[in-house]
Chains A and B, each alone.
Chain A
Amino acid sequence: MLLQDVLPGAIARAWRTAVEGLRAYGGTGDVYMWLMLDRRPLSEGKLEGIVSVGRWTELREPTEEEIASVDREVRRAFGQMVLEAE
């Protein structure tokens, strides 16, 4: 499993599932999402450390823009050159 295997699809699915679980659980108001990725297995051992990304969002599925924003941030943390969306 490499970074390209989990970004952005798997992360987005996990995010959606978590929010749906939170909704079923009775959560209300704004939602904070925190993602942690282990760089070692996701880079074939070339990188070390944990990447953490947090976002304030709402109690709904993440939008395309939110997913793309997290995707960019994670890729940069893995050393990739990623420009902001126009």
Chain B
Amino acid sequence: MPDADPKVFDGDEGRKAVVVRVQPVAVPPSITSDGIVFVRVSGQTLPVTDQAVLADMLARGRMATEGAEASAREAALALYRQGDPFQGARIAYALGVASVGHIADKSSRLFSPEFVETLDGLARTLNVEHGVRRTPGRAFWQDRVVFAHGEPGDQRSELPRGVLGWQCRVLAQCGGRGAPARRSAWRNRARVEDRR
């Protein structure tokens, strides 16, 4: 179901006007309960009767899905390889998430005080839950958000203090990154790779 945002306006003589803003679905096509696929064109909404149009919509949906998979993997891998962006320490685990789509006016949300407050609140919560007093790290760019938190390596790890300086980094990323990635056969399976 696409996201819908209805607004009701009061008119004269008890009349009301409703404007519904419907966001495009992230993974097209959308199919109605009676099995019809519609496409929005300039000034009207038409049922899809052309196989090529339907194939194009399916391809765009597949690209969105594969793009999210690739983005989440890239996010976690980049964090892992880069190390902690705030302290320069190695990390024990990294987690990346990516959505298949994003709101149309993302930039208006990104550079708002509310967004910065939300991120700071999330970083604080993450740290408080871990019982770490150090100020959490957070940063955001046009295409990604990074949280970092953790504490110095403990004695049980037998690693020098600072090597495990941060427990976890989280990257939330949305939006495609160009070419779709190949769907992998090992989706949803744990796998062990040689570390190089």
Contact = CB atoms under 8 A, between A and B. Distances in A.
Interface residues on B, range: 35 or more
Contact of A21 (B68, B69, B91, B145): B145
A44 B99 contact: no
Interface residues of A, number: 49
A51 B192 contact: yes
Given A6-B92, A36-B94, A25 B80 contact: no
Interface stretch (B7-15, B37-45, B50-58, B149-157): B149-157
A52 B80 CA distance: 11
B115 interface: yes
B130 A35 contact: no
B86 to A, nearest CB: 15
B129 interface: yes
B49 interface: no
Interface in A45-62: 45, 48-56, 59
Given A34-B73, A48-B195, A13 B130 contact: yes
Contacts of B170: 14, 17-18, 21
Interface string B16-48: 000000010111000000000000000000000
Given A1-B92, A10-B168, A36-B80, A54 B69 contact: yes
Given A19-B172, A26-B102, A41-B92, 8 more contacts: A22-B97, A28-B101, A30-B100, A34-B76, A44-B157, A49-B195, A54-B69, A54-B187
Interface of A: 1-2, 6, 10-11, 13-15, 17-22, 24-42, 44-45, 48-56, 59, 73-74, 76-77
24 contacts: A11-B93, A11-B95, A18-B97, A21-B145, A25-B110, A25-B140, A25-B174, A27-B102, A28-B3, A28-B23, A29-B27, A30-B65, A32-B68, A33-B72, A33-B97, A35-B94, A38-B90, A41-B92, A41-B157, A44-B156, A48-B194, A50-B192, A50-B195, A51-B190
